A and B are shown apart, each in its own frame.
Chain A
């Protein structure tokens, strides 16, 4: 009941509104050049961000689990900061350092780099937090056995460690991807929201709402909703696959 009232009813209204102008209306809204450009940017940026996260998230998890250094506990706690920090604050801090008045002279504001940067900030914890527990539980005897049989460090990592981590990495990447597609607060300030250039789908929808075009906004929203659902189902599938493979 609660779930239906809070979640399903509004979404039903959304889907209903998007179909009110018929299939042509829906199609026209979704395939408008600006909407398409925004969607393409959203999807591509999310892929780039997911790929960087796959690498850097794994490296971070590795350093946190296998390395020992002063201040490690602090670094570990810092990883969760993007979860706790409001997205608008995340955006603001990025503008302060990498914006037009950057004290270090690096400005990515109003470029597509800014979109990627903002998304990297907010999706940082996902891969780290899914890989870390798997890495902790990983049996080191296998690695030692491989090393004693003459495998180099890279070989051990590639043949022994990585295969065990793949399910965790995939599920973290999928979470980061889902989050990146829907992100709004952190990209608003730094990207400048230039249509055809740095405008992501969330911002496009927001703009359509503000300019009094709820039909268009609803159509693009339904498309995003469908993508989110697909990614969620994929995450479920990855988890089941990982479960079967004992990771």
Chain B
């Protein structure tokens, strides 16, 4: 009996909190068939919003992948002063409110910020434009690749790398032929998480973008605007598209995980 009680409690909790709300929005979206939903996400503003979200992800994800691997290598393989601090700072975006991130960027690049006047003189718009949105997205999605790669690097040790360099491989050859293949699943998993975070970022982008419809509005901001403008169909349809992307991410995550464990 206790067993069924626990099972019921767990499943009921999930149903009330997770499945029912998501299911309802799914149902509401396709209540009147597929075509209204399709029209709602193919309006000019909606297409622009999704395109902008994808564009930002296309820049932020590779940046965080390359630098994430580099950071992980530095944290695991190198000794340098302030390493503990670096470690803590890498985790900070996970715990920090995205609104605070947005504000920090605003204060750095905004009109009265440290770099604001410099960019303004050169006619470059950072705040309320694409650059600050990219920076905000990079900030919030920074930890994922690092956090996935670090434990794997610790686990594999340096024996193979040392063997390779004894046999005359250069540092670059060792990296490409030995280290990267060993951590490729961890990188892939980190990239999936980073992508999910980039596509879903809301708070930080909301602060720095200025919500200019058709210009600096990403998919998540579009959802909010449609909802607050009482265009529920638009909000639900765009949400469902984002949710479908999220579910695809889940499938990818589960695809990568077993391989990681059996390695």
Interface of A toward B, CB cutoff 8 Å: 2-3, 6-11, 13-14, 16-17, 56, 59-60, 62-64, 67, 69, 75, 77-89, 92-98, 103, 117, 120-121, 124, 153, 175, 178-179, 181-185, 188-189, 201-203, 205-206, 209, 214, 217-218, 221, 224-225, 228-229, 231-233, 236
* Residue B130, interface by CB 8 Å: no
Decide if A185 touches B253 in the complex (CB within 8 Å).
no
The residue from A2, A78, A88 contacting B223, defined by CB atoms under 8 A apart: A88
* Residue B243, interface by CB 8 Å: yes
Known: A60-B14, A84-B249. A92 touches B25 (CB 8 A): yes
| Smallest CB separation, B226 vs chain A (Å) | 10
* Residue B128, interface by CB 8 Å: no
Provide the residues of chain A in CB contact with B162, threshold 8 Å: none
Provide the residues of chain A in CB contact with B37, threshold 8 Å: none
Q: How far is the CA of A95 from the CA of B239 in the complex (A)?
A: 13
Provide the residues of chain B in CB contact with A179, threshold 8 Å: 94-95
| Smallest CB separation, A104 vs chain B (Å) | 8
Decide if A96 touches B142 in the complex (CB within 8 Å).
no
Q: How far is the CA of A35 from the CA of B22 in the complex (A)?
A: 33
Provide the residues of chain A in CB contact with B108, threshold 8 Å: 9-10, 13-14
Provide the residues of chain B in CB contact with A120, threshold 8 Å: 17
* Majority-rule SS of B interface residues: helix
Decide if B14 touches A92 in the complex (CB within 8 Å).
no
Q: How far is the CA of A8 from the CA of B201 in the complex (A)?
A: 20
The residue from B6, B96, B247 contacting A59, defined by CB atoms under 8 A apart: B6
The residue from A83, A87, A103 contacting B203, defined by CB atoms under 8 A apart: A87
Known: A7-B139, A83-B196. A206 touches B246 (CB 8 A): no
Provide the residues of chain A in CB contact with B71, threshold 8 Å: 2-3
Q: How far is the CA of A185 from the CA of B219 in the complex (A)?
A: 13
Decide if A10 touches B107 in the complex (CB within 8 Å).
yes
* Residue B101, interface by CB 8 Å: yes
Contact with A along B184-207 (1 / 0, CB 8 A): 000000000100100111110011
Provide the residues of chain A in CB contact with B9, threshold 8 Å: 56, 59
The residue from A67, A69, A206 contacting B207, defined by CB atoms under 8 A apart: A206
* Residue B55, interface by CB 8 Å: no
* Residue B131, interface by CB 8 Å: no
Decide if A224 touches B239 in the complex (CB within 8 Å).
no
Q: How far is the CA of A3 from the CA of B112 in the complex (A)?
A: 23
Decide if A10 touches B18 in the complex (CB within 8 Å).
no
Interface of B toward A, CB cutoff 8 Å: 2-3, 6-7, 9-11, 13-14, 17-22, 24-25, 28, 67, 70-71, 86, 88-108, 110, 112-114, 135, 138-139, 142, 193, 196, 199-203, 206-207, 219-221, 223-224, 227, 235-236, 239, 242-243, 246-247, 249-251, 253-254
Provide the residues of chain A in CB contact with B103, threshold 8 Å: 14, 205, 209, 214, 217-218, 221
Q: How far is the CA of A182 from the CA of B100 in the complex (A)?
A: 9
Name 26 A/B residue pairs within 8 A (Cβ), A-sorted: A6-B138, A7-B92, A9-B108, A10-B107, A13-B104, A14-B104, A14-B108, A16-B107, A67-B3, A81-B246, A81-B247, A85-B22, A86-B199, A86-B242, A87-B203, A87-B220, A88-B220, A88-B223, A95-B227, A124-B17, A178-B94, A184-B202, A185-B202, A188-B224, A221-B99, A229-B92
Decide if B97 touches A201 in the complex (CB within 8 Å).
yes
Q: How far is the CA of A85 from the CA of B22 in the complex (A)?
A: 10
The 4 closest A-B pairs by CB, nearest first: A86-B200, A182-B97, A10-B104, A93-B21
Q: How far is the CA of A182 from the CA of B28 in the complex (A)?
A: 30
Decide if A8 touches B246 in the complex (CB within 8 Å).
no
Q: How far is the CA of A214 from the CA of B102 in the complex (A)?
A: 11
